[in-house]
Structure 1
C-alpha cells in the first residue's frame, strides 16, 4: 500500500434513501472545503490592514484557499464530470458552467487581494471590505454549488455506477494529488469529520503510512481539535493523548 497521506482515504457510505446506503465521494472533501472557506472568510473579515504581518498572513491563507479551489475544480472536471458524461451525456453541463464562473471569480479575488497588499494606508480599509464582501459572495455561491453536486450529481453517479466503480474512481482522483496537497486536505478534512469518520480516516492512514508520517499529520491536526476530539482521535490512531 502506498505511504501517501490520503491514498486509502475513502468516505464512509452515506444514505441517499432509507434503504440504500451508497458511496459518497463528495461528503468528506466538501466538509473540508466548507471549513476552509468559512475560516478564510472570517479571517479576511477581521484583517488588520494597519499590520503588514497580519494582512499578509490573511492574504496568504486566501491565496492558499483559491489554489485549493482551482485544484478541486480540476479534479471534479477531470474525474467526476468525465465519469458522469461517459454514461449521461451533458449530465455535468450545469456544474461545469458554474466551474467556469468560479474560475473567473477566483481570478477577480486574486486581483483584489494583490491590490490590497499594495494599497496605501488611506485606501486599504475600503479595499479590505470590498474583498471581504466579494469573498462572501463566492463562498455563498460555492455552498449552493456543492449542495447541487451532493444531491444531483450523486444521484447520477449512483444510478450509473456501482460502489466498486465509484471507489476506484475516487482512488484514481486521490492518487493524482501530490503529497503537499494531500497534507493540506488532511489539515482541513480531519478536524471537520465526526469522530467515527475521523477514526476511519486515521485508520486508513495508519495502514498506509510510516508511524513518523502519521504522527506528523496528527501533530498538524491537534491544534484544531478540542480536548475530547483529540482524545478520540489519539485512541483511534493508537497514540497516547498526552504525546
Structure 2
C-alpha cells in the first residue's frame, strides 16, 4: 500500500512576494512525510489515555481494568512505533548522513526505559490494596504526563529535522519504497490498531485519501469490514464527510465513543 496522497501536505498558490519566496519550502513540504499521520495517531492515543488515567476511579474495578488496558495498548503502540523508526528510518538516514539520527535514537532508549517504568507502575496499581491505589494512580498519571510531554517535543524534531534530512538525501522513489517496506512489516492486527487511532485523527481529506488507497488494495468485502471496525470511532459529522468520499452510503446509527 502506498500513501503518497495521504502524506502530501496541502499548500496554496503564492499570492504575495513573501509567499512566492516561500514557494521552494512549500514544494519540499509536499514530499512523502513519514511522521505526520502516525504521529497524529500517537498524540490522539496519548491524550485519550492521559485523560482516562487522570479521572480514574480506583474503587471501580471495571474502570480500573479498562483504563489500565488502554494504557497497556498505548505502551505497545509506542514500543512498536519507535522500533519501526529504529529498524527502517534511522538506518536510511545514517546511510546517507552519518549522525542524523543520533539524538532521536538516544531519546528512543530513554523512551524504552520510561515505557517499562510505566508498565511497572500499572502492575503495582493492579496489585495494590484499596488504600494504596489513590497515591499509585496519581503517581502513574504524573509519570504518564511527563512521558507524553517528552514525546510531543520528540515528535516535533522528527517531523521537522528528520523529514528535512530524508528529503535532502532520498528521492521520492526511494522514500516510497522505504515506506512500503515499513508498512509490509506490520502484522494485520497491529495495522488495525494503528488505523483505529490514525483514521479519526486525520483531516477529512487525509482520511478519505488513506481509505481510498486502502480500498484499491483490498477486495470489497474485507474493505467494508475494515470500515465497519473504524466507523464507531468517527462522529456523525466525520462519517457524513467520509462515506460519500469512499463510495459508501450514509447509514444512520453509529456515533463515536472512543
Contact 2:2-2:176 at 8 Å conserved across structures: no
Q: Which of 214, 217, 229 is equivalent to 1:220?
A: 229
Check if 1:195 corresponds to 2:204. Answer: yes
Partner in structure 1 of residue 255 of structure 2: none
Is 1:38–2:47 an aligned residue pair?
yes
Q: List aligned pairs for 1:34-73, cutoff 5 A.
A: 34-73=43-82
Structure 1 stretches lacking a partner, 5+ long: 1-6
Q: What is the distance in 1 between the residues matched to 2:214 and 2:27?
A: 30
Asked if the contact 2:53/2:141 (under 8 Å) is kept, the reply is: yes
Q: Does 1:84 align with 2:93?
A: yes
Does residue 20 of structure 2 align to residue 12 of structure 1?
A: no
TM-score, normalised relative to structure 1: 0.94
In structure 2, the residue matched to 1:167 is: 176
Q: Give the count of matched residue pairs.
A: 237
CA–CA distance in structure 2, aligned partners of residues 116 and 54 of structure 1: 13
- Contact 1:8–1:208 (CA under 8 A) maintained in structure 2: no
Cα offset for 1:216? 2.2
| Higher relative contact order, structure no. (Cα contacts within 8 Å, ≥ 6 residues apart) | 1
Q: Distance in 2 between matches of 1:36 and 1:210?
A: 29
Which of 118, 121, 128 is equivalent to 2:127?
118
- Give the aligned CA root-mean-square deviation in angstroms: 1.4
1:116–1:127 contact (8 Å) kept in structure 2: yes
Deviations 1:9-61 (CA, angstroms, capped at 9, x unpaired)? 44332268134322111111110111011111111111111011110111011
Matches of 2:53 and 2:221, distance apart in 1: 34
Alpha-carbon separation, structure 2, partners of 1:224 and 1:125: 30
Deviation above 4 Å: which 4+ runs of structure 1? none
CA distance in 1, matches of 2:146, 2:134: 19
Structure 2 unaligned runs (5+)? 12-23, 253-258
Give the whole-Å Cα distance in 2 for the aligned partners of 1:48 and 1:142: 26
**What per-residue deviation string (whole Å, max 9, x for no partner) do you get for residues 193-222 of structure 1?**
111111111101111112222222222222
1:22 partner SS: coil
Query: Contact between 1:41 and 1:135, CA under 8 Å: does it hold in 2?
Result: yes
Q: Distance in 1 between matches of 2:43 and 2:56?
A: 20
Structure whose CA Rg is larger = 2
